[in-house]
Structure 1
Amino acid sequence: MKQFFSFLSKNQADIYRILLFVLSTFLVIYLLPTGGQFKYNFQKGKPWQYENLYAPFSFTIKKSESELEAERKNIRDNAIPYFEYDEQIVTQGKDKFEELLTTSYVDSLFQVEENTIRTVGIQFINQLYRFGVTQEVTRYNDDDLIYLKKGNIIEEITFAQITHADEIPKEIDKLITQKKAESYGDLLKILLNRSITPNISVDRKLTEASIQSELDAISPNQGIVEKGGRIIAKGEVVEGNTYQILNSLQDEYQSIVWSKNNHFWLVFGYAMLVSLVFLMLLLFLKKYRTEIYANNTKVTFIFFNIVLMVFLTTIVVKLDANYVYVVPLCILPLILKAFFDPRLGLFVHVLTLLLLGFIVPNSFEFLFLQIIAGIVTILTVSELYRRANLFTSVGQITLVYIIGYFAFFIIQEGNVFSMQLENFGYFVLAGLATLFAHPLIYLYEKVFGLVSDVSLLELSDTNSKLLKELSNKAPGTFHHSLNVANLAEAAANEIGANAMLVRVGALYHDIGKMENPTNFTENQLSGFNTHDELDPKESATIIIDHVINGIEMARKRNIPDRVIDFIRTHHGTSVVYYFYKKEEERNGSANIEDFQYPGPTPFSKETAILMMADSVEAASKSLKEPTSSKIDRFVEKIIDGQMEQGQFLNANITFKEIQSIKKVLKKKLNNIYHLRVEYPE
């Protein structure tokens, strides 16, 4: 048991990566669609690349979505509406007419008997209410059929047979003319207008139920392909009905393949493919990004982003596959480039798209557009901390999407007339969503403790609280740090290292000297050296402690670990040589470990550059009457000495790059001292 726990302790980093690998694979498999993959890849408008295809089994030909939508529209456009007939209003109208007539009729005023007027009025009301009166404004034409519902009886009539409320005065005038009732026409008009009210209204609930019943009855199929029937021949263009038959075969194949009997095998197949993708990522990190591979936080960050993109795409596809291009996948290479490097960003982007190929429709078109957009993202966003660069990149990404989609549409449809403009809106939305990269980067920095170029830009501000404190407490050290920052930045640009990171590391590398600023010669203004009265060991301890003090100070101020690495490594395991020799002269011998920095040695190009620039800049102050040749020899001596001590063995830096750094440092120092090349006499 003890050996087992010892094994776990020694290999906990590898065990964590294995668990992360398994968990990520499981999550992606869970998000993948529950269906097998069709073994043929085809595109509308392109030739069939395989041998003649015959139906492996009988299956129905499904209607396309456009055909189904046309049928639905036709049903709604031609649906016969239902109108509700209210008998009670008719009865109330007659009663009201008779009541008004009784109270309004005076024998001496009219030559016609009351019963005659009553008979004419009631006949007119019955005639008007034969099919009813409505006051609703509708879209129906006179010839359109409608269903009139009287209680439990439904009658089919034309819309023209219904009287509209606005037409009642006109109908009354016609009645008066027909009955030659001019003598009592005014009374009849008043009584009928007050008695007749609309009694018909559209029964929208019943109408919609009828329409829905017809919609539900639509058949999704339009025919059958018998087993053994030829579907398409090699070289034949995939279009029209053939394209729909192939889609139907693909859907049927996937539904048949995904069954209880072979569920295990399908999951096993998906597991192997997804595992291969994540395995390629780990192998890439182990071989080409060793520093990232050794950092489980960074590996977790990369895996998390891949699973997140798969999750978002899956959700969108399940809601509506038409919105798949709204998912801002270009954020992934953008964020990885901000925290790591462009090559890793593009590599992870491509691997993620390989996984998404199982999920999205038209996978070839999707992969093509997204890979091109990812490449554009990597190539265009050079400095993410510059806001204009991100906006320019978003515009270019959107343009690439639009051009690519336009080209695919022409290839597939052969024209541009049926193109739907709203599809271009999806690409614009995807581009705008890419702007979310900035707040997402900030969130990731807080959650995962990573550092982006945006944060480095903020840290490089010399008016920040910590650097302002350094300039006040240790002005000589601050000036030295600025000079080192300029030298290191120029050297980093020369060999393609992260110049912004090197500059920030240089600005903060000596903040530990604020603890005892007068113990360092650059801050001794009076000419009095405190080390003259101290034991060499004690002096060496004070000098060495500025590294430890700097690390503690940086952690208290929440300086990122990536910057603290420069404080930790800028002296490596070198020796405080001056006090070592002083101790040796005084006692005849000295223990080198008492005068040696604790390390570690630089483990990246950037930290190695800072060590060279720091040593060269500090030592250059001791040059008396500097000349170009003196500076050249001086730079060569210092950096060669560091190489002999093995300070750069873990820094992943080449001899060629070191030579380039030497060249830049020589040039910069010559400029600082305003020297020219010495010409022979």
Structure 2
Amino acid sequence: MKRWLNKWQAAAKKMEELKFFRWILFILTVLLLFVSMYSNVRKEKLDIDLFSIADRTIRSPITIEDKESTEKKRKEAVAQVKDVYVLRQEYAQNRVDLVRSIFDAAIETLEGNKEGKGEGGGLPPTTEERLKDLKESLTEPVAKEISDATFLALASASKNELSVAKDYTVTAVHKVMNERIPANEVENAKKRVEETLRITAMPENLKNAAVELARHAIVQNEFYDPEATEELRKQAAENVEPVKILQGQVIVEEGQLVTPEIYRQLKLLGLMDGKDSFLPFIGLLLLSVMLASVLFAGHMHLLGRERKENRRDLFISILIFLIGLGIMKVLSFVKNDAFEITFLFPAAMGVMLGKLLISEAKGILITIAWALCGTVIFNGESSGAFHITAGIYILLSGLSSIVFLTNRNHRSKIFQAGLFVSAVNIAVITALFFIPDSRMSALHYGYYYLTGIGSGIGSAVLTIGILPFFEAGFGILSSMKLIELANPNHPLLKKILTDAPGTYHHSVMVANLAEAACEAIGANGLLARVGSYYHDAGKIKRPMYFIENQNNISNPHEHLNPVQSRNIIIAHTSDGAEILEKHRMPKEIVAIAREHHGTSVLKYFYVKAKEAGLDVKEDEFRYPGPKPRTKEAAVISIADSVEAAVRTVNDPDRKKIESLVKNIIKDRLSDGQFEECDITLKELKTVEKTICETLYGFFHHRIEYPS
């Protein structure tokens, strides 16, 4: 197992070091996204014939306009529009004026407005002359259209008779002409005006003249308006709503006959088309590229381009995403006509793994990407191209785990978070079914609630099960792993306690100082604590050569020369690293064991060698290093020296403690021990202050009790 683990770690490291690693991973992610959703966007082709019996219920996968039905409906609406006819009201006045002018001309002629030409010169004009004068006073068309008998009757009538006839005729014409008279009703209108005048008390010849004039005055006054008619037809066509086949609409039910209309709708939806459309696949490719871009761009933005672990964390986040995508695809293959399987997806796993292995933000990003993929992959359980309910469920279920999961969690806490997520899943499922007023049986609700519970618990179980593989495969030091390493029952800690109890006590004191200082400057306090527990693990190889373990025994260094003592003391850093590697400790803990003394000088034995007259150089008494490369290692190196030095101070008070801590940090700075880590002077000042405050608590004065 260890051999395979080492091979995997080596392979993963090689992949991370590839020049085009991000591009290779990006293209691979796009391809896997496309392949996983390919079958979900491919249109289903139906093997169904006209006038056959449908073997299952078929619903519309999309919303589409039925243009043929829309056009048919518009034609029906246009056909129902009646022609528009306009009443020319001015015609009534014009025809009344015509009748009135004829009678007025007759009266004027009678009164001698025009000079008569009778025999004898002074005699009144004869009827023939009056007739002639009357016709001449009128326009030629009117004179031709009216009969001579009518003009003769007018010329023969008295002024009083003409006035009465005028009133009767004008009234009758005015009344009839103010009614609508279409072309096919002109004759009926003429008859109505004639009937009105026939019952009047006028001389018969004058009555006939009035009737002819009235009939002549009655004309068509209602005319067809093509523009208004066309406008109404246009409005009627525009008011027709497009006929749409809605997504999810039942086209044919199981056992129903496939009529020509149903068959036409199936063809319109593309369900009978033997050719694949490339549009869905182009859309899927674009979606895959955008999703992968969001994952990669979000990773770079959230973690920063300069982080050394960036490539590894990117690889981990993509791997988590692809694992969830695979689970999602497997679940989509489970067909159940009665129930949906969507709610069984362990959506909270993304946030849990992301938060424990990388960061909370990356877990959120993975969950959002899963939600978008879920709308496509689970669309087989909906009637459309996207299953929005699945996306909402995955998003809310996944994000809910943020509330219940903290950065420092035992495995039992992860399981508890899974139970809380299960409760949230039940609430989300209830909301998703209650909002659209889905009325289901108790059996359906019970099933869906069980899948929601399974999703929450499954997320916790998968997180607990997968986490060790990521930790071992990528050498990740998670908070949970640190908590396990801090357990006093850990075999190596128990060995340190048994073989080197003084070293164990010293390590616990250093851990308290280092954790407080790291948390004060924003570094990983838990890593500092655990690293402190194991930083002197190399001393268990020769515990009696270190003063904290020399209880009631003579100091063995008194029997060795300074060079031999130097070799034993300096070796505890490399010995500790070997022991930790043997126990398969995380590389961060091993690095702290190597770096906590940096390349500092072992001054005690260097001075002793000089006093013994040995020809030695200072560099020969330096630790091999490397110098601290992280803030945690730098703080532990300070805390280690401070804890050892403060024991040598008699009756340490505030002033002595502050002077001691300040001098140790100053010595480390002047010796260049912090050159390889990114700790700042401001942070070192905070470390100094925090360590001093912690030491004040250790060495506070106590009341002297009587003996």
Q: What's the TM-score bracket when you normalise by the shorter of the two chains?
A: 0.5 to 0.7
Task: Quote how far apart the aligned CAs of 1:497 are.
Answer: 4.2
1:151-190 equivalences under 5 Å are none
Structure 1 residues 501, 12: CA separation in 2 closer, same or farther (over 3 Å shift)? Answer: closer
Aligned match of 1:478 = 504
Structure 1 residues 220, 36: CA separation in 2 closer, same or farther (over 3 Å shift)? Answer: closer
Task: Quote how far apart the aligned CAs of 1:517 are.
Answer: 2.0
Q: Distance in 2 between matches of 1:25 and 1:657?
A: 43
Q: Distance in 1 between matches of 2:29 and 2:611?
A: 62
* Structure 2: gaps (5+ residues): 1-12, 47-51, 72-243, 252-264, 380-385, 703-707
User: In structure 2, what residue type is equivalent to 1:560?
Assistant: P
| Higher mean C-alpha displacement, 638-647 vs 581-590 | 581-590
Pair 1:292-2:334 in alignment: no
| Higher mean C-alpha displacement, 451-460 vs 613-622 | 451-460
User: In structure 1, what residue type is equivalent to 2:289?
Assistant: M
Pair 1:339-2:357 in alignment: yes
Aligned match of 2:429 = 405
Contact 1:32–1:359 (CA under 8 A) maintained in structure 2: yes
Alpha-carbon deviations, 1:27-54, whole Å to 9, x = none? 232212346699xxxxxxxxxxxxxxxx
Task: Quote how far apart the aligned CAs of 1:667 are.
Answer: 2.0
Contact 2:355–2:362 (CA under 8 A) maintained in structure 1: yes
Pair 1:273-2:113 in alignment: no
Q: Distance in 1 between matches of 2:564 and 2:343?
A: 66
Q: Distance in 1 between matches of 2:274 and 2:616?
A: 79
Provide the secondary structure at the position in 2 that maps to 1:486.
Answer: helix
User: In structure 2, what residue type is equivalent to 1:374?
Assistant: G
Alpha-carbon deviations, 1:205-225, whole Å to 9, x = none? xxxxxxxx9662766579994
Pair 1:22-2:22 in alignment: no
Aligned match of 2:656 = 630
Structure 1 residues 11, 32: CA separation in 2 closer, same or farther (over 3 Å shift)? Answer: closer
- Aligned pair count reads 486
1:10-409 equivalences under 5 Å are 12-34=17-39, 216=55, 225-227=65-67, 242-244=246-248, 252=269, 259=276, 265=282, 269-270=286-287, 272-284=289-301, 287=304, 290-293=307-310, 296=312, 299-320=314-335, 322-361=340-379, 362=386, 364-382=388-406, 385-386=409-410, 389-409=413-433
Structure 1 residues 364, 647: CA separation in 2 closer, same or farther (over 3 Å shift)? Answer: farther
Q: Distance in 1 between matches of 2:653 and 2:17?
A: 55
Provide the secondary structure at the position in 1 that maps to 2:355.
Answer: helix
Task: Quote how far apart the aligned CAs of 1:474 are.
Answer: 1.9
Q: Distance in 1 between matches of 2:271 and 2:40?
A: 5
Contact 2:64–2:269 (CA under 8 A) maintained in structure 1: no
Q: Distance in 2 between matches of 1:289 and 1:459?
A: 29
Across the aligned residues of Structure 1 and Structure 2, the Cα RMSD in angstroms comes to: 4.4
- Among 649, 664, 681, the residue aligned to 2:690: 664
Aligned match of 1:545 = 571
User: In structure 1, what residue type is equivalent to 2:37?
Assistant: L
Contact 2:348–2:400 (CA under 8 A) maintained in structure 1: no
Provide the secondary structure at the position in 1 that maps to 2:659.
Answer: helix
Alpha-carbon deviations, 1:566-602, whole Å to 9, x = none? 2122223333343445556777996454333333333
Alpha-carbon deviations, 1:78-113, whole Å to 9, x = none? xxxxxxxxxxxxxxxxxxxxxxxxxxxxxxxxxxxx
Structure 1 residues 11, 398: CA separation in 2 closer, same or farther (over 3 Å shift)? Answer: closer
User: In structure 2, what residue type is equivalent to 1:216?
Assistant: D
User: In structure 1, what residue type is equivalent to 2:317?
Assistant: I
* Structure 1: gaps (5+ residues): 1-7, 39-58, 63-212, 232-239, 677-681
Q: Distance in 1 between matches of 2:301 and 2:60?
A: 48
User: In structure 1, what residue type is equivalent to 2:506?
Assistant: H
Give TM-score scaled by structure 1 length: 0.61
| Higher mean C-alpha displacement, 550-559 vs 640-649 | 640-649
Q: Distance in 1 between matches of 2:324 and 2:485?
A: 30
Aligned match of 1:514 = 540
Contact 2:15–2:21 (CA under 8 A) maintained in structure 1: no
- Among 454, 458, 477, the residue aligned to 1:433: 458
Structure 1 residues 405, 560: CA separation in 2 closer, same or farther (over 3 Å shift)? Answer: same
Q: Distance in 2 between matches of 1:426 and 1:10?
A: 38
Task: Quote how far apart the aligned CAs of 1:337 are.
Answer: 2.4
Pair 1:674-2:700 in alignment: yes
Task: Quote how far apart the aligned CAs of 1:476 are.
Answer: 1.6
1:502-651 equivalences under 5 Å are 502-526=528-552, 528-532=554-558, 534=560, 536-581=562-607, 591-648=617-674, 651=677
User: In structure 2, what residue type is equivalent to 1:552?
Assistant: E
Structure 1 residues 313, 509: CA separation in 2 closer, same or farther (over 3 Å shift)? Answer: same
Give TM-score scaled by structure 2 length: 0.59
Task: Quote how far apart the aligned CAs of 1:323 are.
Answer: 1.4
Q: Distance in 1 between matches of 2:557 and 2:330?
A: 68
Structure 1 residues 651, 372: CA separation in 2 closer, same or farther (over 3 Å shift)? Answer: farther
Contact 1:285–1:293 (CA under 8 A) maintained in structure 2: no
Q: Distance in 2 between matches of 1:10 and 1:373?
A: 33
Alpha-carbon deviations, 1:347-371, whole Å to 9, x = none? 4433444454543445554444433
Structure 1 residues 229, 260: CA separation in 2 closer, same or farther (over 3 Å shift)? Answer: closer
Contact 2:375–2:389 (CA under 8 A) maintained in structure 1: no
Provide the secondary structure at the position in 2 that maps to 1:665.
Answer: helix
Q: Distance in 1 between matches of 2:394 and 2:58?
A: 36
